[in-house]
């Protein structure tokens, strides 16, 4: 047996144990041994032998009252460490590049800073007329798509000072001139799952829509945007651009450990 061939062989018992762990994980709840065996497509007697070792290792825990099995403390530790080591921006850059290829519009990645949302990277589409996004510039909270998106899902205390300051500025769009109007706008953003600005008042002719990306703590951590020329980019909430944007943000959220539910 050559070294190359030998290196391709794994440890079968480990792979079987991982299959059992996967069955428990996919169950989304504590499970009886027979249910785990059925999900893993193995005899219960075989699964029980592995469960003994998995419990000893801390990867699985058994409730002495119900005899049900669930993921153990070491499995939780492994999961948290894996999430902590994820490069959210790196994964986000890959996501906006794929999204750009799908919709052929300018795409961008935004993060939140003390001064509001900041575009950290953008991807230009393959078309002659495009919107050039300057990275590193903080955008307004009330009038930009990324700002509205973050304001809709960040804690109120985080965004309130910036909103209060911007409400004092003149010539705001009609939908954000009062506190009541702002609350209504943010409620609509949460309802639709995206924030859209059809004509950014600071840069006329630019339209953008932003979707939130959540982490394992159910917190908004990034924003994915599609940006285009007003009248040329499809901004309809049920259109292909918004649908692709939502899919991209949801896939990135899952990659960052988001399990769904209320954010």
1 Cβ partners below 8 Å, 6+ apart? none
Sign of CA dihedral 173, 151, 147, 211: negative
Q: Is 150 left (phi over 0), alpha (psi -120 to 50) or beta?
A: alpha
- pLDDT of res. 86: 58
Token pair of 245, please? 């944007």
* Domain 3-84 = CATH 1.10.10.10: yes
- pLDDT of res. 142: 93
CB 207 within 8 A of CB 230: yes
Q: How many C-beta neighbours within 10 Å does residue 230 have? A: 16
- 3-state secondary structure string, the chain? CCHHHHHCCCCHHHHHHHHHHHHHHHHCCCECHHHHHHHHCCCHHHHHHHHHHHHHHCCEEECCCCCCEEECHHHHHHHHHHHHCCCHHHHHHHHHHHHHHHHCCEEEEEEEECCEEEEEEEECCCCCCCCCCCCCCECCCCCCHHHHHHHHHCCHHHHHHHHHHHCCCCCCCHHHCCHHHHHHHHHHHHHHCCEEECCCCCCCCEEEEEEEEECCCCCEEEEEEEEEECCCCCCCCCCHHHHHHHHHHHHHHHHCCCCCCCC
State the fold for domain 88-255: Beta-Lactamase (3.30.450)
Which phi and psi angles does 149 have, rounded to 5°?
-65, -50
Residues of the chain with pLDDT under 50: 1-6, 262-263
pLDDT tens for each residue of 224-262: 999 998 888 999 999 999 999 999 999 999 988 888 754
- pLDDT of res. 80: 64
Q: How many C-beta neighbours within 10 Å does residue 136 have? A: 8
177 Cβ partners below 8 Å, 6+ apart? 167
- pLDDT of res. 61: 92
- pLDDT of res. 84: 59
Sign of CA dihedral 240, 92, 209, 128: negative
Q: How far apart are CA 5 and CA 245, in angstroms?
A: 43
- pLDDT of res. 246: 97
Token pair of 211, please? 């979707």
Sequence ranges of the domains in the chain: 3-84, 88-255
């Amino acid at each position: 047996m050559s070294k190359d061939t030998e290196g391709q062989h794994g440890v079968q018992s480990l792979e079987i144990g991982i299959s059992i762990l996967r069955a428990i994980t996919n169950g989304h709840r504590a499970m009886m041994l027979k249910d785990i065996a059925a999900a893993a497509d193995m005899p219960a007697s075989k699964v029980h032998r592995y469960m003994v070792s998995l419990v000893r290792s801390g990867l699985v825990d058994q409730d002495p009252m119900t005899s049900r099995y669930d993921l153990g403390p070491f499995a939780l530790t492994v999961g948290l460490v894996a999430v902590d080591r994820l490069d959210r921006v790196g994964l986000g850059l890959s996501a906006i590049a794929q999204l750009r290829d799908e919709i052929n519009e300018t795409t961008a990645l935004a993060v939140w800073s003390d001064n509001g949302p900041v575009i950290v990277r953008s991807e230009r589409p393959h078309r002659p007329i495009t919107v050039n996004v300057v990275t590193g510039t903080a955008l307004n909270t009330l009038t930009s798509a990324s700002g509205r998106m973050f304001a809709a899902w960040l804690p109120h205390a985080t965004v309130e000072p910036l909103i209060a300051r911007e409400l004092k500025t003149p010539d705001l769009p009609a939908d954000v001139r009062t506190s009541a109007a702002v609350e209504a706008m943010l409620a609509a953003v949460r309802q639709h799952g995206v924030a859209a600005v059809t004509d950014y008042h600071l840069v006329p002719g630019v339209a953008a829509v932003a979707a939130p990306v959540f982490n394992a703590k159910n917190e908004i951590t990034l924003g994915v945007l599609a940006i285009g020329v007003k009248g040329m980019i499809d901004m309809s909430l049920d259109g292909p651009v918004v649908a692709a944007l939502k899919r991209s943000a949801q896939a990135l959220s899952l990659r960052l450990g988001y399990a769904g539910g209320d954010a």
